[in-house]
Amino acid sequence: MLSAKTVFQVATVAVLAANPQAIAQAQTNGIASPLQHVSPTGAVTIPQAEIPSVSTLGPVQPHWIFVNRGGGADGTRIFDGDTGKMKGMVNMYGQDSFAFDPLGKNFYVAQTIWSKLDRGTRQDMLLAYDVTSLKLVAEVPIPGRMLIGNRTHNLVITSDGKKALIYNMQPSSSVNVVDLDKRAFEQKIELPGCATMLTNTINGFSALCSNGTMATVAMEGAKPSITRSAPFFSATEDPIFDTSILDPKTGKATLLSYSGLVTPVTLGQAPKIGAPWSLQQAALMRKGTYTPMDVNWMPGGRQPIAVHHASGRIYVLMHMGEYWSEYEPAQEIWILDANTHKLIGRHALTGELKDKLVNIAVSQDGEPQVYASDGSGNTFVLDSQTLEKKQKMESSGGGILYAVQP
């Protein structure tokens, strides 16, 4: 409840703000108005009014990190990993999907809204935001999409930047294709039982399927053609994390299973699926198994793996756990060599990082930074060699981390 004194002060500020002559008269009479500041020496200053302005982003930098949702608000926030300062925000909501443009012109968002907030007429669309102004530049209606957040491969852009692929399920799995040059929906590709889209360098894509195979879709002809690999994993006995890693320039993917198996894949018209190797055996431990009551060091978190493509360094969030513990926060971060399948180092997490981290990413430049978040709104910048904390961004976001791709 406002007091009479407070009401008088507010009213006085309003009157003086609307009447500059009253301010001048107050100064003539030696009286400081509520808009003025009187220093201990008696000097009177009048604060200058704030002037609104609009800024633009420069070119996307290698040490920028994009953090999905945080601080009680929606959006994917852009931070400078060198300074810890926020650069801007791409408008998004809880179940939206985000993707980079390989051509560097836009940020893409797959979005669903309803005419009555959470009910009514449903509208699905692909949005394009300009990378410098963050203004909406295109809105393409699509027939539907999968409503699930915190997934890195539900919206992907082909390597030439001409097609957007949006995962859908109505009622079976399918992929909506949007022509980004024409800014129009092109076609729906039925892909039953498959998800986690991974683009290749020939403008097709592959997806992991529930029967343990990899389906590959070629889109060069008038009608898409689909081929399938032989089964190479078990979706029920040892699933693969849907935040596995892809190098968009080379088409090399790094797939991580719940038990800790790493499977290298080179995507193409006929994907080359390499032999899996064990994180635990690389650390001179017994191989991890995804069976009840078998406690071991296991990968975990919402986004448990990051790969620095040029060096082949793999960063994995690890915890002691068993069957169905794949979302547990990390107790350690392991660094491994993808080329030699050797452990480089194990780093125990302490202080505010202990038993907290659930997401990890790494920049792709020559002096990489590691990014990790605790799922409750804090994002940390870590040294890529020592994993020493360099920056902390509070209220930054609790969702997926998107590192800038080369």
Q: pLDDT tens digits for 241-280? A: 999 999 999 999 999 999 999 999 999 999 999 999 999 9
Q: Using a pLDDT cut of 90, give the percent of the chain over it.
A: 74
Q: Stretch 26-39: mean pLDDT, rounded?
A: 49
pLDDT band at 370 (very low <50, low <70, confident <90, very high): very high
Which CATH code, of 3.90.1150.10, 2.130.10.10, 3.40.50.2000, 3.30.70.1140, is assigned to 243-406?
A: 2.130.10.10
Q: Where are the domains of the chain?
A: 4-45, 87-231, 243-406
pLDDT mean over 329-344: 98
Asked if residue 29 has pLDDT above 70, the reply is no
pLDDT of residue 36: 54
Domains 87-231 and 243-406 fall in the same CATH topology: yes
pLDDT top residue among 71 and 213: 213
Q: Which two tokens stand for residue 99?
A: 């993707």
Q: b/e per residue, 297-333, with b = 16+ CB within 10 A?
A: bbbbbbbbbbbbbeeebbbbbbbebbeebbebbbbbb
The answer to whether residues 178 and 163 touch, using CB atoms and an 8 Å cutoff, is yes
CB count in 10 Å sphere of residue 202 = 16
8 A C-beta contact, residue 23 and residue 16 = yes
Render pLDDT for 148-170 as a digit per residue (tens, 0 to 9): 877 889 999 999 999 999 999 88
Dump pLDDT digits (tens) for 34-80.
Answer: 545 555 666 666 777 778 777 889 899 999 999 988 556 689 999 99
Does the pLDDT of residue 129 top 80, yes or no?
Answer: yes
pTM, to two decimals: 0.86
Nearest to 109 by CA among 164, 48, 61: 164
What confidence score (pLDDT) does residue 37 get?
57
Phi first, then psi, for residue 25 (nearest 5°) are -65, -40
Fold of 87-231: Methylamine Dehydrogenase; Chain H (2.130.10)
Over 90: is that where the pLDDT of 385 sits?
A: yes
CB 77, CB 377: distance < 8 Å: no
| pLDDT (0 to 100) of residue 170 | 82
Q: Are strands 245-247 and 252-256 parallel, antiparallel or unpaired?
A: antiparallel
Quick one: pLDDT at residue 44? 67
